[in-house]
Amino acid sequence: MTTTLVARTATEPASREAGEWRSLLPWIVPAVAALWALLGTGTPARDIALYGGYFLLAIVVPGTLVFRVLFGSRGNWPEDLTLGTATGLVVMLAGWALGAALGQQSLLIGWPVLVVLPFLLVPRLRRSWRRGAGDPLPVGWHWAMAAVLLLVILWLATVFQNFPLPPVRFEYYKDLYYHLALVHEMTRSMPFQVPQLAGYELRYHYLSDADLATASMVTGIAPTTLLFRLWLLAITVAGVFAFATLARVLSGRWWAAPVAAVAGFAGQAVSFGSAAATFNSGGPVTLLSPSQDIAMPLIALFAVLAVDRLRGRPLGWGWAFLPLLAVAGAGSKASVLPPLAAGLALTGVVSLGQRRKVPWAAAGLFAVTVFGMLFGARFFAGGGASVLQPQALGTLRWLAPYTETLGVDDGPRWGGFVPPGVEAAGTTGRLFVAWVVIWALLLQAPRLIGLVVPPRTRGTGDPAFALIAGVLLAGLGATWVFWHPTASQVYFYAGVIPFGAVLAAWSLADRVRSWRVPVAGAVAGALCAVLLPRVDPPAHPTIGHWAWTMAVPLLRLAAITAVVIVVLVAVWRGRARRALPVALVAATLGAGVASYTAQNVAAMTVTAAPKGEPKYQLTALEMRAAQWLDRNAGRDDLVATNVHCRPMNATTLCDARAFWVAGLGGRRTLVESWGYSDQAVAVNGVGNRIYYYQPAPDRALFELNQRAFTTGDPAVVARLRDEYGVRWLFADSRAGAVAPELSAVATQRLRLGTVTIYELGRGSG
């Protein structure tokens, strides 16, 4: 017997090592799928290899080493690398901030080496290269997470297909140009300026753009390729695995990780065809908001560490890292820390009531989040964030059942502590408002079901439940008690969607005793989501028609649910009471994942075409001209342009969000577009116009800029050059007439399609 025990012990390391190698096999499929999605949409193979090497060596490796030395190993490679990646993002941002403050961004390539070097030279730190004690995750975890990743890559493939790399005739979402301009701005030294309005202080949560800028400076990859392809893929995957780790930490079950990941990142709100009746129908990551995307792995890392501390695990020197993590979260997306702070506050109150002593762990974590919020308010908050106002039910103003009935005359102004249409509504109208809110929340069931059927551990005094539930409730509540003229309050909820998925996965992990019930429930929910007839918005948008339109799918679903309950009671009888909550959670999650998958599969079958109306599209030649400017202008050169509006030839009413000259041209512009400036936002609603339709902040400078292009007056051009430091003129005849006299006072460097680029030398004018 002793001989057998010794033999078994001797073979365990070899068996474990063999198991770890076998666990690599599942990842081949999503890796091939990712390459297919990237290469098939024009991503250069060289850029894929470069960014892959950069992300591994500059983010993952240094971050994992720092995470292990501060917080210890999780006992397995996947979770160490996952949390290490989030840590690495913070470490790299710290290096970028130091470089930008000192004007030494060219040295960023050496920052990861500087971080890793102590782990090579100091004997006590070398152990951080090894995985700590603990059992590796089972092979089933790898197969399940690989399957989840495949669904996420399916979504990414639809994004890549629908957003071709420039130059191409296309209408990109205006915020993408805004972020591209910020990426270029982050390559310059502090203090930063608004790139589309040179000389104005930049106040924005720009750390996602800083991360993109760092990758571009180190690798030489174009910001467009990073944002539209490589960075989006890497950050999305990082968020998926970070929240999967949180689910396993909370529940103690390995399979809760893929359940949370698939529900949070490969699921969506239920849709019966009336998507206009809900909000945040998609997932928590989107190409259109890089700031939202990078916040996901960061906030998940904070949550994992918070759960560890609340459950009694000491953080030691890790406390020194938490303020940096909080600042990174605030600088990535201003809306992610407030729900976390609310969840920690709720945790503290609950712990105080249960244990009758000061909850120091919750208090310390709460203080860290408040520090991050205050720091963010001082150094990052600005632009549209300053328009956020308290307004109960303000989100109704972006739901069609309300905007097409009671809210048709609400307009762009704040309007008070409830929407004007609600304030003026009678009894019938207010009942209708209640129905719209209930309906919108019902469609969000895949994200909120964990609140209805919570984990059983909630009754054991586990502070982690109050934290996760509090974060979810705070994000949902903030979405419904605030108003923003462009609905940015919904980001409070977008940032907590994965917490809802984690809570639901935790509930299943606490309740499941057999796989038959959850599998049957998930299949039933998926079939309902896919097979139930679609309901179109009413042809005549009245209160009655909208109320019935929303009621029809709910009545159908109620009938199906009643039949299922009867069947469950008949089959399981005494066990039905335990089976029903499990079936409900599984069916709800299955419906969300099925809706998401069906939508993406349908999107993959649609041939990509030039997006948008021709008047809003840029031509491939315009994009090429801007890219030429990026290659040939000095990093700090200033550009004047006659492009200001969407569409470019707008005269009476200018939508000042044409950010493409600074975005693709990569240089600050004297006056391009001002729609997101603090000055424009401050006068939102004046003249019954939303902020991006307001006039330029400096009207005199705007008119001087325009005269240079319309008259070619040598004196005006000389003022732009000598008084304001303009070095280039970017003229597009689609935006208005361009004076031929410009060729006499400036050197024409490029003529491409409708664009002419002039250089202003010392002797020009």
Q: Residue 3: its pLDDT value, please?
A: 42
Q: Give the mean pLDDT of the chain.
A: 90
Q: Residue 578: its pLDDT value, please?
A: 78
> Pairing relation of β-strands 726-732 and 638-641?
parallel
Positive or negative: CA dihedral 324, 325, 330, 332: positive
Residue range 3-22: average pLDDT?
A: 50
**Integer Cα distance of 376 and 385 in angstroms:** 11
Confidence check: pLDDT of 11 > 50: no
| 278-314 CB burial, b ≥16 within 10 A, e <16 | bbbbbbbbebbbbbbbbbbbbbbbbbbbbbbbbeeee
Range of lowest pLDDT (462-466, 470-474, 537-541): 537-541
Instruction: Tell me the per-residue pLDDT of 49-73, one tens digit each, with 9 for 90 and over.
Output: 999 999 999 999 999 999 999 999 9
Q: Residue 711: its pLDDT value, please?
A: 95
Range of lowest pLDDT (47-61, 270-284, 374-388): 270-284
Backbone angles phi, psi at 201, to 5 degrees: -65, 135
Instruction: Tell me the per-residue pLDDT of 119-174, one tens digit each, with 9 for 90 and over.
Output: 999 999 999 999 888 778 999 999 999 999 999 999 999 999 999 999 999 999 99
Instruction: Tell me the per-residue pLDDT of 176-193, one tens digit each, with 9 for 90 and over.
Output: 999 999 999 999 999 999
**Integer Cα distance of 703 and 738 in angstroms:** 14
572 band by pLDDT with thresholds 50, 70 and 90: low
Residue 27 identity: W
Q: Residue 603: its pLDDT value, please?
A: 79
Residue range 620-641: average pLDDT?
A: 96
Positive or negative: CA dihedral 54, 56, 60, 62: negative
Catalogue the long-range contacts made by 103-110 (C-beta closer than 8 Å, 24 or more residues apart).
Answer: 103/189, 105/187, 105/189, 105/217, 106/217, 108/214, 108/217, 108/218, 109/217, 109/218
Which residues, at least 6 apart from 446, have a Cβ–Cβ distance to it below 8 Å? 263, 267, 268, 269, 270, 500, 501, 504, 588, 589, 591, 592, 593
Range of lowest pLDDT (106-115, 505-514, 605-614): 605-614
Q: Structural domain boundaries of the chain?
A: 9-171+203-604, 620-759
Q: Which residue in 293, 368, 378, 381 sits closest to 325, CA to CA?
A: 368
Check if the beta carbon of residue 676 is closer than 8 Å to that of residue 383. Answer: yes
**Integer Cα distance of 62 and 56 in angstroms:** 9
**Integer Cα distance of 430 and 421 in angstroms:** 10
Residue range 646-662: average pLDDT?
A: 92
Token pair listed for 439 = 């309906």
